[in-house]
Structure formats: structure tokens, C-alpha cells
Amino acid sequence: MFFKAKTQHTLYTAGATVLKKKAAPIKEITPEIETLSLNMTAAMNAFDGVGLAGPQYGISKRIVTLNIPAPENGFQSPGEALLIPLMPLTIINPEILEFGEELIPWNEGCLSVPDIFGEVIRPSTVKFQAQLLAGNIIECECGGLLARCIQHEIDHLDGHLFVERMAPEQFSKVESEFRRLERLGAKKKYKRRMKS
């Protein structure tokens, strides 16, 4: 492949309209989508993220890049065993088919909500489906950070940020900082740039 990733990346942060919109499904994997995937992967790496959704990059399309490290205690689910060796990985039109019953807390953060972290309770496993860039559709049961990340990124595609999922008493601890961020993000003056 001869695409070259950009070296300057702008991520959209809380308050930006693109983060509140429901992103559109991708009908066809065109060279533009492949270039976007390459640029999003470079941006994710430049910002040290484990996942990035199209809207965070200013593109309201159902595309997500992931770079989940292998868990120290080994793969806990078939999805991790299948997908983690493929990282960094781009997934298209991801969909959750089934949520596991067990709910667990996790201290989440987000490149679009810089410097704010908070506990979010979500199912520990999900059964999910997505298309890979090669065109094949995968379906698997995921646990661990991968399951957490998939849920967080699909929320982005649906126009939601993790702070909306925090319990009110947890959110109140970060609310003023978050509102400040939203005001800056809405004016589009708070984009992050970094050389990769």
C-alpha cells in the first residue's frame, strides 16, 4: 500500500457537534476509507490511545481503530485471542449483538475528554460483529479491555461520551472540569495537534 499517513492530527473534544451526532454506516470500503483508517491509526498512536472512533477525528462515519495491548494474564475470551494479534486494527460498522450479564466498573478515559477519568459500569463481555478492511465480517465474544473499548467506541458512533454513563455521584466530581472542556470544544478552539 502506498498511502502515507498525515503527521499532524486534530482530534475533536467534548463540545464539538460531530461528537454528538449519530455516525453514518459505511456502505463500501473505498480507498478513501483505507486512507482514513491509516490516518486514524496514526492519530491514535500519536496520542497514545487504545481506540479512536471516526467522530473523534471529525468524520461522522462508523469506523473505529483499536490498539489494545495483550493482557498480561493471557486472553480471557475468544474475541481477544482472535483480534489482539491483529492490532492495530480497523473495524467498520461495529455492532453489539449481545451484552453479557455481569456488570463491572472501570476507570475510563477518552482522547476527546482529555485529563478527565471516571468510573463507568458496563457489561464485562459483549458479543459483537464488525467488518474488517479486507471486507470479511467477524463475529466474536469479547472480554477484558477489548470489550470495554468496543462499548466505549460504539458509544462515540452513536453520539455519546463516557461521562454520560457515569453515575451522578461520580460525574459530579468531574462536572465543572467537563463543562469547561465542553465550552472550549464547542468553539473548536481546543483541538489537539501532535506530530506522530
Q: Choose between 51 and 79: whose C-beta lies nearer to Zn ion.
A: 51
95 backbone dihedrals φ, ψ, rounded to 5°? -145, 140
Q: Choose between 42 and 113: whose C-beta lies nearer to Zn ion.
A: 113
3-state class (DSSP) for residue 99: strand
Q: How far is the CB of 51 from Zn ion (least distance, A)?
A: 7
As a whole number of angstroms, the distance between CA 179 and CA 51 comes to 23
As a whole number of angstroms, the distance between CA 186 and CA 176 comes to 15
Q: Does 142 bind Zn ion (CB under 5 A)?
A: no
Catalytic residue among 153, 164, 175, 182: 153
- Give how many residues touch Zn ion by CB under 5 A: 1
Closest CA to 63 of 97, 38, 82, 98: 38
Residues β-bridged to residue 119: 107
Tell me if residue 153 is catalytic: yes
Find out whether 187 and 12 touch, Cβ atoms under 8 Å.
no
Q: Does 110 bind Zn ion (CB under 5 A)?
A: yes
Q: How far is the CB of 2 from Zn ion (least distance, A)?
A: 30
Find out whether 118 and 76 touch, Cβ atoms under 8 Å.
no
DSSP 23: P
Stretch that binds Zn ion, among 35-43, 106-114, 132-140, 182-190 (CB under 5 A): 106-114
As a whole number of angstroms, the distance between CA 191 and CA 2 comes to 28
Stretch that binds Zn ion, among 21-29, 71-79, 84-92, 104-112 (CB under 5 A): 104-112
Q: Does 44 bind Zn ion (CB under 5 A)?
A: no
3-state class (DSSP) for residue 196: coil
CA angle 9, 158, 100 (to 5 degrees): 115
Stretch that binds Zn ion, among 69-77, 90-98, 102-110, 176-184 (CB under 5 A): 102-110
Q: How far is the CB of 108 from Zn ion (least distance, A)?
A: 8
Q: How far is the CB of 8 from Zn ion (least distance, A)?
A: 20
Q: Choose between 42 and 53: whose C-beta lies nearer to Zn ion.
A: 53
Which residue has the closest beta carbon to Zn ion? 110
Q: Choose between 75 and 162: whose C-beta lies nearer to Zn ion.
A: 162
Active site residues: 153
The residues that touch Zn ion, with contacts defined as CB under 5 A, are: 110
